[in-house]
Structure 1
């Protein structure tokens, strides 16, 4: 039951925040941190425009998803199945499971490798340890455990990077040139741009929002609280985090490190002006915290959608859901056995997720404009923003795929291309079917008069 009418002012609002903080915890994770750091180190301020629109578009995507959840009281898979049928619901589930599953493995690799760097113990042992901790914590407390951890860790990470802005020299006049949209060449500019945007506009957090809003028990009377939650989480917390990290990287790392081979140790140099010899430890602790909070949020996403599709409850009171959640957490231990540098893999995993995101955006936009699903559709300005969100996401995802093809057709590239083709066909088919349906609905009244 909604409690939005209770008094308490700002303190009361903050006590009730949650759904978008969990999304923000995933957005402000190690993958975004790596993408933004690589962007600043590689191109200076050139990709500032992507960093800014990532927070704005991220907030817009979460707001559209929240409106859908408030209006229906359902998870997105159930809504898609009710309106479009089981096949479209399964396509959405598969899209999310692939994007979130790959992210889960790479983020676990990050957590395990960072733990190994800090302790000296084998990363594979850390992977198994963290997977067990994750399984026990989430299966025991579910969403509430992830939400609480997200609020604490994301807030701490944001403060650390914002503080560094006061001591790292920032060239404001040069930074202003980065507000002009362009994708620089070299060091896979399209990949990095897609990774930066993919940190905030990602199918994982867009779809997850409908379930976490429902878990909070919000309804349509909580819309003002939801807007506050989104503003505080995506614009203020995530926006400050990504902007501060980018500006610090551009000011401290550009031209001083090998951006193509940037790793965690080299990236830690960005914090030397405020931490001195402790910069490496400070950076690793921040990276560790971001990875923990992101894993907590990301782990619950595939079980949410799969359970919803199978008709199970999406909380730990349902033993089937609890088992699925624990199994997802335990399987993530496999990420610790992946070879390669986690820093570069983190950028790739966000870009890959962005490829599957236009399909989710199209679904959400169609549903919130469908009067058979919602009582109140978005206004003109909000729909213009939604079209811009879909368009920019599609263009950057397409640029990334083209960049991958140009780099050579290895097995990973073939998988990315196949995934992109499949999701593009699905998106076009969905939009086309709804366009035809709208036309037939308009023609029916005229035909009945003949």
Structure 2
């Protein structure tokens, strides 16, 4: 019971990366490549644990968020301004785009479980479910209490996890083929999909969100062991869910899908109504959790970049997540197809990740910030390896795009 009481920030990180983007990208990976990219997901989970541990340790020991520390530690004004603008653009503008996908994903889940619900306003066709999901996210964020959000998220994440894992069992996958999927293949096979899998698991904005959430929940180095246990448990749980989604898509033997909703529909004739129902419920939970964490992360980033005081109740903080949420609802309700936007967003995540990870790596090596808890030699070796892999994938992606021109 004591372990369950300590669940919180790590669960929110898992909730953030198991969104409709993850469901869509993992579904596309399973449909296009079968089980053969499970190894890429496994590496992504390991990388996520390494980088999120650095972020969590930073929040615990310094009592500040990542953007706060970057703003304070960069001494050259011009370089500081350039860095903060880069972070602001990548995270805030990016999160506004992700929010549309998050809400749309939740809508797909609602339409799978219930039915489509649209109405016309002049020439526009408005999706009523988008307004319901956006309104629900608004109310939950307006509560303004981290503890209340934490309890809600723990329930939603466990519900979502059960839904996707049960669906994977219902599809009766080939166990031997699954095991073969954990054997690394060629980086050239599905390079953009590999980068998307990394980008949807190791989410750049989570590095900011995690440090801020930890700094609010715990104070002092005595909680470091608890923080690490909670983190590892939460990320592994999220990783298992991602694998379950990929396995569902691979086992379904569907030729192509437009979005995760198509996967739910495709499962029904093969494995019965229960499979599509569980997948729809999981997608709904994934959309709701991510539609809350994306605006929340953006608000924390802006707060740190601009040096705002006050917590979740401050008007400035609320104004940021309200803007992000409204943009998400507007784009989602207009019925824009999310699959290509989501896929592009995850690839962009994979490209932005090395930049954010390098800043994090630099900060956690500053004795002025972490004192004796700065990175050890082993942590630096492992961290450098993870960042080098992220840089390699990013460069390889850019090279592939240039080659295709």
Question: How does the TM-score come out when normalised to structure 2?
Answer: 0.88
Partner of 1:31: 21
Partner of 1:112: 107
Asked if the contact 2:108–2:261 (Cα under 8 Å) also holds between the matched residues in 1, the reply is no
Offset, 1:316: 2.8
Decide which of 317, 323, 327 is 1:321's aligned counterpart.
Answer: 317
- Structure-to-structure mapping, 1:381-396, within 5 angstroms: 381-396=378-393
Offset, 1:208: 0.9
Partner of 1:289: 285
1:193-247 deviations in whole A, cap 9, x for unaligned? 1111112211111111111111213322210010111111002x11221222223
Question: How does the TM-score come out when normalised to structure 1?
Answer: 0.80
Offset, 1:385: 1.4
Asked if the contact 2:110–2:284 (Cα under 8 Å) also holds between the matched residues in 1, the reply is yes
Decide which of 35, 41, 50 is 1:60's aligned counterpart.
Answer: 50
- Structure-to-structure mapping, 1:172-251, within 5 angstroms: 172=176, 175-176=179-180, 178-183=182-187, 185=189, 189-235=190-236, 237-250=237-250
Offset, 1:272: 6.7
- Structure-to-structure mapping, 1:41-440, within 5 angstroms: 41-85=31-75, 86-87=80-81, 88-116=83-111, 118-122=114-118, 124-167=127-170, 168-172=172-176, 175-176=179-180, 178-183=182-187, 185=189, 189-235=190-236, 237-250=237-250, 252-253=251-252, 256-259=253-256, 261=258, 263-270=260-267, 276-313=272-309, 315-337=311-333, 340-376=336-372, 377-406=374-403
Offset, 1:156: 1.5
Q: Residues of 1 paired with 2:296 and 2:105: CA distance?
A: 18
Asked if the contact 2:7–2:154 (Cα under 8 Å) also holds between the matched residues in 1, the reply is no
Offset, 1:72: 1.1
Offset, 1:149: 2.6
Q: Residues of 1 paired with 2:268 and 2:402: CA distance?
A: 36
1:80-110 deviations in whole A, cap 9, x for unaligned? 1111144123322222113322211222222
Asked if the contact 1:135–1:330 (Cα under 8 Å) also holds between the matched residues in 2, the reply is no
Offset, 1:284: 1.5
Q: Residues of 1 paired with 2:109 and 2:178: CA distance?
A: 34
Q: Secondary structure at the match of 1:373?
A: helix
Asked if the contact 2:100–2:332 (Cα under 8 Å) also holds between the matched residues in 1, the reply is yes
Asked if the contact 1:313–1:321 (Cα under 8 Å) also holds between the matched residues in 2, the reply is no
Q: Which fold has the larger relative contact order, with Cα–Cα distance below 8 Å and residues 6 or more apart in sequence?
A: 2
1:287-314 deviations in whole A, cap 9, x for unaligned? 1111001111111011111122333235
Q: Structure 2: 5+ residue runs without aligned partners?
A: 119-125
Q: Residues of 2 paired with 1:177 and 1:333: CA distance?
A: 37
1:363/1:279 Cα in 2 relative to 1: closer, same or farther (>3 Å)? same
Q: Highest CA radius of gyration, 1 or 2?
A: 1
Decide which of 3, 7, 27 is 1:17's aligned counterpart.
Answer: 7
Q: Residues of 2 paired with 1:333 and 1:226: CA distance?
A: 34
1:378/1:196 Cα in 2 relative to 1: closer, same or farther (>3 Å)? same
Asked if the contact 1:272–1:278 (Cα under 8 Å) also holds between the matched residues in 2, the reply is no
Q: Secondary structure at the match of 1:353?
A: helix
Q: Residues of 1 paired with 2:231 and 2:61: CA distance?
A: 17
Q: Residues of 1 paired with 2:219 and 2:289: CA distance?
A: 23
Number of residue equivalences: 390
Q: CA RMSD in A?
A: 2.4
Q: Secondary structure at the match of 1:257?
A: coil
